[in-house]
Amino acid sequence: MQSSSSWCKMLKNKFNRYNNLNNTILETRKFAYCEYIHILD
């Protein structure tokens, strides 16, 4: 899944740029889902 992995990198870069307190719950859930996909890969 090439597209999802690149989307994952974008999300990680976004997380690195901002403080965790500034992230919305939706972004946090997306990030967790992304990590879950990587475990399966």
Specify the number of domains making up the chain: 1
Q: Do the beta carbons of residue 41 and residue 33 sit within 8 Å?
A: no
Phi then psi for residue 34, to 5 deg, are -65, -45
Q: Which domain holds residue 15?
A: 2-40
In this prediction, residue 1 carries a pLDDT of 44
In this prediction, residue 12 carries a pLDDT of 72
DSSP string of 1-41, one letter each residue: -HHHHHHHHHHHHHHHHS-GGGS-HHHHHHHHHHHHHHHH-
Low-confidence ranges of the chain (pLDDT < 50): 1
Prediction pTM value: 0.33
Count the neighbouring beta carbons within 10 Å of the beta carbon of residue 19. Answer: 7
